[in-house]
Amino acid sequence: GIQVEQSPPDLILQEGANSTLRCNFSDSVNNLQWFHQNPWGQLINLFYIPSGTKQNGRLSATTVATERYSLLYISSSQTTDSGVYFCAVRGNAGNMLTFGGGTRLMVKP
Amino acid sequence: NAGVTQTPKFQVLKTGQSMTLQCAQDMNHNSMYWYRQDPGMGLRLIYYSASEGTTDKGEVPNGYNVSRLNKREFSLRLESAAPSQTSVYFCASSPARGAFFGQGTRLTVV
């Protein structure tokens, strides 16, 4: 099946700093999403972005499907951004939605 | 509009007991999924259903069975629970674009 790798696995930021999270995948995809899992365990949809660029407030994401990677940008980070960020993809060849291992982000005040 | 609803939210089982985790979605999505998330880990796919009447194994299906009862409901059954199945279980449903998750079921097997 499709392989999904996220980097870095852990990230510690000072409040106000910017960061870039990366998601690499091993095959063509028709579905790519970024999720934020908050400290209570809830999975929150951030972006549906199988290709192109989207922005939502301080967050933006870019997927370069031909090169099989996606980036999530967090600007002016806040303590409420802490949690785990997951990338999930569905390959063109099937229906499985596969998650990466996540990036655990801690934003310090 | 409830989205994806999982029951129960918490459960403690003794080793060898059986139980069924329920999941229902009201968004008319074709695809539904069951995942488990162990502490500090990502989500691993147990089973999925691309449409009513079909189910397929995911990455970690051993020890589990599923039923796609109708388009709305997708249940996960543990026939003989083991401590290794202690985890948080998430159900998801997916249209052609995106996926939506339930709140999770925290299961402890003692």
pLDDT at B98: 83
pLDDT at B104: 96
| SS3 call for B76 | strand
Q: Confirm or reject contact between B48 and chain A (CB < 8 A).
A: yes
pLDDT at A91: 87
Q: Which residues of A58-88 are buried (b: 16+ CB within 10 A; e: fewer)?
A: ebbbbbebeebbbbbebeebeeebbbbbbbb
pLDDT at B1: 55
Q: What is the mean pLDDT of chain A?
A: 94
Peptide bond into B61 cis (omega under 30): no
Q: Confirm or reject contact between A45 and chain B (CB < 8 A).
A: yes
Give me the residue from A31, A33, A41 closest to B88, CB to CB: A41
Compute the average pLDDT of residues B73-87.
Answer: 97
Using a CB-CB cut-off of 8 Å, the residues of chain B touching A97 are 31, 33, 45, 48, 92, 94, 99
Question: Which phi and psi angles does B50 have, rounded to 5°?
Answer: -75, -25
pLDDT (tens digit per residue) in A60-95: 999 999 999 999 999 999 999 999 999 999 988 777
pLDDT (tens digit per residue) in B52-77: 999 999 999 999 999 998 999 999 99
**Of residues A97 and B105, which shows the higher confidence score?**
B105
pLDDT at A93: 75
- Best A3, A30, A31, A44 member to test B by mutation, with max B CBs in 10 Å, is A31
Give me the residue from B31, B56, B98 closest to A33, CB to CB: B98
Pick from A10, A7, A17: which is nearest to A79 by CA?
Answer: A17
What's the maximum distance between 2 C-alpha atoms anywhere in chain B? 39
Task: Measure the CA–CA gap between A84 and A17, rounded to whole angstroms.
Answer: 17
Q: Confirm or reject contact between A42 and chain B (CB < 8 A).
A: yes
Inter-residue contact B60 to B35 (CB < 8 Å): no
Q: Confirm or reject contact between A83 and chain B (CB < 8 A).
A: no
- Beta strand A10-14 with A103-108 is parallel
pLDDT (tens digit per residue) in A7-52: 999 999 999 999 999 999 999 998 999 999 998 899 999 999 999 9
pLDDT (tens digit per residue) in B15-43: 999 999 999 999 999 999 999 999 888 99
| Cβ neighbours, 10 Å, residue A89 | 26
Pick from B99, B95, B62: which is nearest to B78 by CA?
Answer: B62
Percentage above 90 pLDDT, chain B: 87
